[in-house]
């Protein structure tokens, strides 16, 4: 965490008075459960000890000015006319303002943000921004939001930016407790704190490839959202299950039966063909919150579904291993997750494979890519005494950075 006094000083320098409030929103590392959240299936992330620090003061003009020490150009957005921002990070601010439109309408704010979270993908810098800003502004305007509400609004704000985020990041950043992972379920929404056993440390390592959620990565992510929706629709059709609304693999009643039937799915299929086959409205598959996917584009279906269904089982196995204190078994689930993401979900890269392998070889219980993939970061679970070795091996594999992270509390006022 950046020293809050430095953030206060920077605020004074820019805005000319002390901030009324300082808040911190951590980044997150997903331990396991990758690309399951937007299918309504569980995840097991931690909040970490790095994140974004916010200094804020209220104004009376319904204008929100946000300065970031990491991103160019100040955002200066009227709460009455948010919505046409061209700078990518300004769109997150506008999304948050939209989600707070019911709160203290006449108020504005001056905000300064500084962060020690890498922005290259996988550690959730975007959700630290959306959750921290939502929490900070709501508290500043007199309406501190409970954790679940905060997570829901921040996720909705991010969907406006165009990524069909499942809600894992915002939930763990809002609700995490130090020393625990957070098991999150989505259908129906639920969460529980999972105590991390003694003798378990975490290292994260950059692949050296940026994976920001613009352009190609957004398209690749959304393709998987659509591919798994097609799979859910087809599996429900085969199993005679009625799915309402958006077809989610987590809603195909019997996951065991679905895991068997998955091999009967076509390797690739277009949304339009799936909708015709299942006599369903194609919009249920291709319509995303802020984007529309080409219904004629063939996308992988079988291998995507195979990964998601098996990954949900691995989350259960990983949680059970943590509860039992069986760190080898926990590491094994992480390795299997990585292999499945590489082979079936096709979202790993040679650099992520290399850094994960190097960390395992240096003594980690297990290692895997974390977050959406396509570059960004990998995480290793290791014995505390192996941390230095694992960091060194990761740096040698990719040039770094690599560092230890600790399971920390979620968003908080300082």
Contact residues for ligand NG1 (CB under 6 A)? 34-35, 37-38, 121-122, 124, 126-127, 158, 163, 165-166, 168-169, 371-372
Supply 406's token pair: 């600790």
Q: Would you say 186 or 330 has its CB closer to ligand NG1?
A: 186
Contact of 91 with 371, CB cutoff 8 Å: no
Sign of CA dihedral 30, 34, 35, 36: negative
Nearer to ligand NG1, 225 or 386 (CB): 225
| DSSP per position, 173-238 | HHH--TTEEEEEEETTEEEEEEEPPTT-EEEEEE-S----SSHHHHHHHHHHHHHHHHHHHHHHHH
Contacts of 95 (CB under 8 A, 6+ apart): 130, 156, 157, 158, 159, 160, 161
Separation between Cα atoms, residue 383 and residue 327, nearest integer Å: 9
Closest-by-Cβ residue to ligand NG1 is 371
Using DSSP's 3-state secondary structure scheme, residue 353 falls into: helix
CA 87 to chain centre: 21
Chain-centre distance of CA 201, in angstroms? 21
Q: Which helix (H) or strand (E) holds 377?
A: strand 377-382
The owner of tokens 């249920």 is 284
Minimum CB distance to ligand NG1 smaller for 33 or for 108: 33
Please say which residue, 163 or 407, places its beta carbon nearer to ligand NG1: 163
User: SS3 for 12-60, per residue?
Assistant: HHHHCCCCCEEEEEEEEEEEECCCCHHHCCCEEEEEEEEEEEEEEEEEC
Q: Give the DSSP H/E element, type plus range, for residue 405.
A: strand 402-405
How far are the Cα atoms of 76, 110, 135, 255 from residue 63, in angstroms, in the given order?
7, 8, 17, 48
The residues that are catalytic are 169
Q: Quick one: tokens of 69?
A: 């020490």
Q: At closest approach, how far in Å is the CB of 124 from ligand NG1? A: 5
What is the smallest separation between the CB atom of 161 and ligand NG1, expressed in angstroms?
A: 9
Strands 268-270 and 298-300: antiparallel
342 Cβ partners below 8 Å, 6+ apart?
348, 353
Whichever of 35 and 314 has its CB closer to ligand NG1, that residue is: 35
Is there a contact between 21 and 139 (Cβ–Cβ < 8 Å)? yes
Pick 136 or 373: Cβ nearer ligand NG1:
373
Nearer to ligand NG1, 110 or 127 (CB): 127
Output the smallest distance, CB 12 to ligand NG1, in A: 32
Query: What minimum distance in Å lies between the beta carbon of 310 and ligand NG1?
Result: 14
């Amino acid at each position: 965490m950046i020293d809050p006094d430095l953030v206060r000083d920077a605020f004074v320098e820019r805005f000319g008075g002390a901030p009324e409030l300082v808040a911190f929103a951590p980044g997150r590392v997903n331990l396991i459960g990758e690309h399951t959240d937007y299918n309504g299936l569980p995840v097991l992330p931690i909040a970490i000890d790095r994140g974004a620090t916010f200094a804020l003061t209220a104004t009376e003009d319904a204008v929100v000015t946000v300065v970031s020490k990491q991103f160019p150009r100040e955002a200066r957005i009227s709460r009455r006319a948010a919505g046409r921002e061209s700078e990518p990070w300004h769109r997150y601010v506008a999304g948050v303002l939209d989600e707070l439109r019911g709160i203290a309408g006449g108020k504005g704010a001056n905000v300064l943000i500084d962060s020690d979270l890498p922005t290259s993908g996988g550690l959730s810098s975007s959700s630290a921004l959306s959750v921290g800003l939502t929490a900070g502004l709501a508290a500043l305007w007199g309406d501190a939001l409970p954790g679940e509400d905060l997570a829901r609004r921040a996720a909705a704000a991010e969907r406006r930016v165009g990524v069909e985020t499942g809600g894992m990041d915002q939930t763990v950043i809002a609700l995490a407790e130090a020393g625990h992972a957070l098991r999150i379920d989505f259908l129906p929404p639920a969460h529980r704190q999972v105590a991390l056993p003694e003798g378990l440390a975490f290292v994260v390592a950059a692949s050296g490839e940026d994976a920001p959620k613009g352009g190609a990565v957004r398209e690749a992510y959304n393709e998987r959202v659509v591919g798994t929706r097609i799979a859910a629709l087809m599996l429900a059709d085969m199993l005679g299950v009625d799915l309402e609304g958006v077809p989610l693999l987590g809603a195909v009643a019997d996951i065991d039966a679905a895991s068997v039937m998955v091999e009967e799915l076509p390797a690739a299929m277009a949304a339009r063909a799936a909708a015709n086959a299942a006599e369903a409205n194609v919009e249920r598959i291709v319509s995303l919150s802020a984007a529309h996917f080409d219904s004629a584009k063939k996308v992988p279906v079988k291998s995507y579904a195979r990964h998601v269904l098996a990954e949900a089982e691995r989350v259960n196995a990983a949680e059970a291993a943590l509860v039992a204190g069986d760190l080898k078994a926990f590491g094994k689930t992480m390795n299997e997750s990585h292999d499945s993401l590489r082979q079936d979900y096709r979202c790993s890269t040679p650099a992520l494979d290399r850094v994960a392998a190097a960390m395992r070889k240096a003594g980690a219980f297990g290692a895997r890519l974390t977050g959406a993939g396509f570059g960004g970061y990998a995480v290793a679970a290791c014995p505390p005494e192996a941390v230095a070795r694992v960091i060194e091996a990761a740096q040698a594999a990719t040039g770094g950075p690599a560092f230890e992270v600790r399971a920390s509390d979620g968003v908080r006022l300082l």
